[in-house]
Structure 1
Amino acid sequence: MEMRRVVAAAWLACLLLPMASVRGRNITAMLAGYKEYKLYNKYLSETKVCDEINARDSTSMTILLLSDDAMSTLVSDAGESLAAIKNALRLLSVLDYYDRKKVKKFGSESADTLYQATGDAVSVTGNVKVTDLDGGKFGFASATTGAEVSTVTKEVKTMPFKFSILEISAPIEFDGLFDTPSTSNLTRLLEKAGCKQFAALVASTGVIKTYESAMDKGLTLFAPNDDAFQAKGAPNVKKMSSADLVTLLKYHALSGYYPKTSLKAAKGSLHTLASTKAGKNDISVVAKGDDVSLATGVGKSRVADTVLDNTPFCLLTVDRLLVPVELAGAPEPAPGPAAAPLSSPPAPQPADAPSEAADHANHKAKKASFAVASRSIGGAFAAAAVCSVVLASVL
């Protein structure tokens, strides 16, 4: 009996092991224990480049680190602009794996970066050159002509052919790296993005001033396109009171910087400019693959395009108006099943013949169980070797 309990406990441990494993990349957590990279890690978080790195968990990458002294130089060169610093950190995020052995084997070559992948780069300026140097060393430089090579001074962490973190001696820069788009005319940006009606409303109500005052601190604006105002179920903004209209417009902005990649990783409710201390007028994110939607409690709206990402301000378009529950009113209860006529009660079904509803519920339960089992089987295979060792030692 005792042996059976031990074996059962071993099998339980094997079943729970896949659930205890943690998958996914977390670059800021990897660097948290290194005091010499505290400034670099701080700006990874503030610019949200960390979310872009983590989102590419299936992509081989090389992160080029700067010590606090070298990072201070980069911040100064960027004029302390978060948007410019973000460009530089994207350039230091290489979309391929490199270490000393690989460079010595294959020699110098060009590699893409997150900066190039954003579409902000022109031609090869978003790439870096990996250079094999004398004395067993190697380094990285901008792909622009005559760029100075920054030498790799330390291999901080390497996961062969998957992910590596390398310290380099100096920032990698080129003319134009720190150029960022202008946000001085928000109305014009909205009009060019096909959101003319939204632009007119925020201008006429004065809400645009609220947006502009929040842009330097952190603001994410969801601008509905012109078709959204004509969509089925959209509120008639012409019939709304001034106070409700202002609330509606403020509800389209988050009090923080959330580019689309960061929205995918957002958990729980997010505060809008219309949120109250009681938690009213919050919004939540529903992400599935590359698709991101916003849930208001009344409906959902798909996040369509990024018009401008200029840290700490981000302008995105949405397909539908975002309407909070407080403005939409309580949703109508779903109609219940029609009552059967008293004159013709349903005939009782035999005990051994389940009803259609019960059979349907049973079928759904089986599908749910199968889905859970399917998701778990990958983790179970990963734990098979450990289970074998545990059971062998027990038996």
Structure 2
Amino acid sequence: MDLLSFSKLCMLLAVAIASLQADAAPKASLATLPPAPAPAPAPSFENITQSLTYGGEYSTFIQLLVETKLDVAFQAIANDTEGPGLTIFAPTDAAFKLAPASSLLQNITESNKTRLIEYHVLTKFQAYKDLQRSNNNVTSTYATDQNGGQGYKVNITFTGGGQIQIKSDWTTAFYRTTVYTSSPASIFAISQVLIPDEIFGLPPPPPPPSPPPPPAPKAPAPAPSTLSSPSKVPASKESSFSSPLFIPYFSSLLASLLLLLFLIISAP
């Protein structure tokens, strides 16, 4: 074999070896890499409107949430597990039929409708046990924040009777049941629609108390009895000598005297 042929053979061997090394290198590197971790499961968030729908008696409140698009805003807060959360007081359908809500909400504007729903939401998560520790707590609502931190507050109290009451300017609502509670969102059913005076003005003063009833008339005095003692017959003003009984009495006396006189005379 001449020198030229030997050189070509060496070059072919070098190319073959380099090709084999190139094929083996990625296989070795792939074999040493750890397996990629499985993707983390997406967090499970509570769907606010779905929870209310399952409750079965909140259709009016759900309708207002959707009309004002606050369902989207509140859902975003409920999805933020790092945020302060929220607490929703949801009036039942029966609550919307009670006065004063039944009349005040008939002609409410769209902007006031939004404020009304915001007024039913606290700006942080509160569990039922947190509400039980309330004692005349004046609490800001989502409407307070949207109004520059002014007004739209509620008073939350755990009463001596074991009830949780949420007092607005017009109404006092009571806790009815827990629809859902798990940080960062709570939904509690209440018995009345909360009515703020920032929308509807101050409530009318209560009617004055009724005057006391007039005193009962006294019973009339009993009539005098008709069985009274017989009245004495007044003595006659005429002389007893004019009485018709005097004449026979006088005659008898005269006869007795005459008889006595006769006996005296005739005696021996």
TM-score normalised per structure 2? 0.54
The answer on whether the counterparts of 2:169 and 2:202 sit within 8 Å (CA) in structure 1 is no
User: Does residue 1:322 correspond to 2:191, yes or no?
Assistant: no
**1-side partners of 2:206 and 2:185: how far apart?**
40
Structure 2 CA distance for partners of 1:204 and 1:287, relative to 1, 3 Å: same
Going from structure 1 to structure 2, the CA distance change for 1:242 and 1:311 (only over 3 Å counts) comes to same
- Tell me if 1:252 matches 2:114: no
Compute the displacement of 1:278 (Å). 5.1
Change (3 A) 1:301 1:337: closer
2:204 counterpart of 1:332:
yes
- The alpha carbon displacement at 1:232 in A equals 2.5
1:190 to 1:338, Cα distance in 2 relative to 1, 3 A: closer
Are 1:274 and 2:137 counterparts? no
Alignment partners' CA distance in 2, 1:224 and 1:336? 30
1:325-349, Cα deviation, whole Å (9 max, x unpaired): 212311223445799xxxxxxxxxx
User: Share of identical aligned residues, percent?
Assistant: 23
Check whether the contact 2:175–2:190 (CA below 8 A) recurs between aligned residues.
yes
Pairing partner for 1:222 from 52, 64, 89: 89
Counterparts in 2 of 1:210 and 1:235: CA distance versus 1, 3 Å? farther
Question: In 2, Cα distance between the equivalents of 1:239 and 1:326?
Answer: 16
1:137-286 alignment, distance < 5 Å: 183-193=45-55, 194-215=57-78, 216=80, 217=83, 218-236=85-103, 237-267=105-135, 268-275=137-144, 276-277=147-148, 279-286=150-157
| Equivalent residues of 2:156, 2:166 under 8 A apart | yes
Compared with structure 1, are the counterparts of its residues 335 and 308 closer, same or farther at alpha carbon in structure 2 (3 Å cutoff)? closer
State the distance in 1 between where 2:106 and 2:187 align. Answer: 25
Post-superposition Cα deviations, 1:136-189, rounded to whole Å, max 9, x if no partner, equal: xxxxxxxxxxxxxxxxxxxxxxxxxxxxxxxxxxxxxxxxxxxx9x54432121
Cα distance change on mapping 1:235 and 1:247 into 2, 3 Å? farther
Structure 2: runs of 5 or more not aligned: 1-39, 212-268
Once the two structures are TM-superposed, the CA of residue 238 in structure 1 deviates from its matched residue by 4.4
Indicate how the Cα distance of structure 1 residues 192 and 334 shifts in structure 2: closer, same or farther if over 3 A, else same. Answer: same
Question: What SS is found at the alignment partner of 2:143?
Answer: coil
Mapped contact 2:92–2:191 kept (Cα < 8 A): yes
Aligned residue runs from structure 1 range 7-86, under 5 A: none
- Name the CA shift for 1:259/1:333 in 2 (closer, same or farther; >3 Å): same
Q: RMSD between aligned alpha carbons?
A: 2.4
Deviation at residue 219 of structure 1 after TM alignment: 0.3
CA distance in 2, matches of 1:238, 1:207: 20
Compare the two structures and name the one with the higher strand fraction.
Answer: 1
Distance 2:120 2:131 in 1: 14
Residue type of the alignment partner of 1:189 = S
Write out per-residue CA displacement over residues 295-345 of structure 1, whole angstroms, 9 at most, x where no aligned residue.
012120001111111112111111111111212311223445799xxxxxx
Distance in 1 separating the partners of 2:209 and 2:52: 47
Give the structure-1-normalised TM-score: 0.38
Distance 1:336 1:223 in 2: 33
Q: Is the 8 A contact 1:285 1:294 kept in 2?
A: yes
The 4+ residue runs of structure 1 with deviation greater than 4 A are 335-339
The number of equivalent residue pairs is 160
Gaps of 5+ in 1: 1-78, 80-179, 340-395
Q: Given residue 141 of structure 2, which amino acid in structure 1 is its aligned partner?
A: T
SS state at 1:239 partner: coil
CA contact 2:171–2:193 (8 Å) conserved in 1: no
* Aligned counterparts of 1:184 and 1:311: Cα–Cα separation in 2: 10
2-side partners of 1:273 and 1:204: how far apart?
Answer: 17
